[in-house]
Amino acid sequence: MTSLRQRLIPYWLLGPGLLWLLFFFVIPMYFMFELSLKTGSLETGYQLTWNWSNYADSISEYSTQFGRAFYYAGAATVFSLLIGYPLAYAIAIKGGRWKNLMLFAVIAPFFTTYLIRTIAWKTILDDSSIVVDALKFLHIVPEDGRVLATSGAVIAGLTYNFLPFMVLPLYASLERLDLRLVEASKDLYANSRATFFKVTLPLTAPGIVAGTLLCFIPAAGDYVNSTFLGGTKQAMIGNVIQSKYLVINDYPVAAALSFTLLVLIMLLLMAYIKFAGTESLMGEEDEVK
Amino acid sequence: MKAWTWLKDHAVNIIAGLALFYMLAPIAVIAVFSFNDPVGRFNFEWVGFTLDAWKNPFGITELTDALITSIQLAAISSIGSTILGTLIAIALVRYNFFGRRAANFLIVIPLATPEVVIGASLLSMFLVYGAKLGFGTLVIAHIMFSISFVVIVVRSRLIGFDRSLEEAAADLGANAITTFRKITLPLLAPAVGAALMLSFALSIDDFVISNFNSGATVTFPLYIFGANQRGIPVEVNVIATMLFAVTVIAMAAVIIQQRRAEKMAEKRADDAGTTGMSMPI
The residues near B22 (Cβ < 8 Å, ≥ 6 apart) are A83, A160, A163
Top pLDDT among A221 and B164 is at A221
Domain ranges of chain A: 64-280
Task: Report the pLDDT value the prediction gives residue A280, as an integer from 0 to 100.
Answer: 47
Q: Supply the angle between the helices A4-21 and B61-94 in degrees, to the nearest 10.
A: 150
A287, pLDDT greater than 50: no
A285, pLDDT greater than 50: no
Top pLDDT among B132 and A139 is at B132
B20, pLDDT greater than 70: yes
Question: Which residues on chain B are in Cβ contact (under 8 Å) with A259?
Answer: 117
Is B33 inside any structural domain? no
Question: Which residues on chain B are in Cβ contact (under 8 Å) with A62?
Answer: none
Angle at B214 between CA B72 and CA B57, to 5 degrees: 50
Q: Do A110 and B43 touch (CB under 8 A)?
A: no
Confidence of residue B274 (pLDDT cuts 50, 70, 90): low
Task: Report the pLDDT value the prediction gives residue B171, as an integer from 0 to 100.
Answer: 85
Q: Is A7 on the interface with B (CB under 8 A)?
A: yes
Contact A215, A237 (CB under 8 A): no
Domain span at B151: 61-232
Q: What is the pLDDT of residues A160-209, one digit of tens each?
A: 999 998 998 888 888 887 778 888 887 887 777 788 888 788 888 888 88
Neighbours of B246 (CB within 10 A): 11
Q: Is A17 on the interface with B (CB under 8 A)?
A: yes
Helix ranges, chain A (H): 4-21, 27-36, 53-61, 63-94, 99-107, 114-124, 130-137, 151-176, 179-187, 192-195, 201-203, 205-221, 224-229, 237-246, 251-276, 279-282
**In the A/B pair of chains, how many CB contacts fall below 8 A?**
251
Distance from the Cα of A128 to chain B's closest Cα (Å) equals 7
Residue B148: which CATH number? 1.10.3720.10
What is the value of pTM for the model shown? 0.86
Task: Report the pLDDT value the prediction gives residue B230, as an integer from 0 to 100.
Answer: 82
Give dist(CA B12, CA A88) in Å, integer: 10
Task: Report the pLDDT value the prediction gives residue B119, as an integer from 0 to 100.
Answer: 93
Distance from the Cα of A258 to chain B's closest Cα (Å) equals 6
Confidence of residue B45 (pLDDT cuts 50, 70, 90): confident
User: A240: nearest CA in chain B?
Assistant: B116
Neighbours of A179 (CB within 10 A): 9
Average pLDDT over residues B161-186: 81
The sign one gets for the Cα dihedral A111, A222, A228, A105 is: positive
Give the lowest-confidence range in A104-108, A140-144, B52-56, B273-277. B273-277
Give dist(CA A287, CA A289) in Å, integer: 6
Q: Decide: helix, strand or coil at residue B36.
A: strand
For chain B, the first-to-last Cα distance in angstroms comes to 63
Nearest CA to B203 among B125, B147, B249? Answer: B147
Task: Report the pLDDT value the prediction gives residue B166, as an integer from 0 to 100.
Answer: 80
Task: Report the pLDDT value the prediction gives residue B273, as an integer from 0 to 100.
Answer: 57
Residue A47 sits at φ, ψ, to 5 deg, of -115, 145
Candidate CATH numbers 3.40.50.300, 1.10.3720.10, 3.30.365.10, 3.90.550.10; the one for domain A64-280: 1.10.3720.10
B278, pLDDT greater than 70: no
Task: Report the pLDDT value the prediction gives residue B3, as an integer from 0 to 100.
Answer: 78
B14, pLDDT greater than 60: yes
ipTM of the complex: 0.87
Q: Is A16 on the interface with B (CB under 8 A)?
A: yes
Q: What is the pLDDT of residues B47-84, one digit of tens each?
A: 777 777 788 778 788 888 999 999 999 999 999 999 99
What amino acid occupies position B91? A
Max Cα–Cα distance, chain B, nearest Å: 74
Give the count of domains, chain B: 1
Task: Report the pLDDT value the prediction gives residue A176, as an integer from 0 to 100.
Answer: 81
The residues near B123 (Cβ < 8 Å, ≥ 6 apart) are A245, B133, B212, B213
Q: Do A109 and B124 touch (CB under 8 A)?
A: no
Is B204 inside any structural domain? yes
Average pLDDT score, chain A? 83
Q: Do B88 and A282 touch (CB under 8 A)?
A: no
To probe the interface with A, which of B88, B116, B148, B206 has the most A CB atoms within 10 Å? B116
Percent of chain A residues past pLDDT 70, beyond the cut: 94
Give dist(CA B237, CA B201) in Å, integer: 18
Is B280 inside any structural domain? no
Q: Do B16 and A87 touch (CB under 8 A)?
A: yes
Average pLDDT score, chain B? 84
Q: Do B116 and A241 touch (CB under 8 A)?
A: yes
Give dist(CA A147, CA A21) in Å, integer: 42
User: A156: nearest CA in chain B?
Assistant: B22
Q: Is A285 on the interface with B (CB under 8 A)?
A: yes
Q: Is A268 on the interface with B (CB under 8 A)?
A: no
Give dist(CA A246, CA A177) in Å, integer: 47
Task: Report the pLDDT value the prediction gives residue A57, as an integer from 0 to 100.
Answer: 84
Neighbours of B256 (CB within 10 A): 10
Q: Which of A113, A128, A265 sits opposite B114 (nearest CB)?
A: A265
CB interface of A with B, residues 37-66, below 8 Å:
none
Task: Report the pLDDT value the prediction gives residue A284, as an integer from 0 to 100.
Answer: 47
Contact B104, B92 (CB under 8 A): yes
Q: A211 vs A164, A169, A207, A208, B135, CA distance in Å?
A: 9, 6, 6, 5, 33
Percent of chain A residues past pLDDT 90, beyond the cut: 23
Give the lowest-confidence range in A124-133, A175-184, A241-250, B40-49. B40-49
Average pLDDT over residues B112-120: 92
Is B87 inside any structural domain? yes
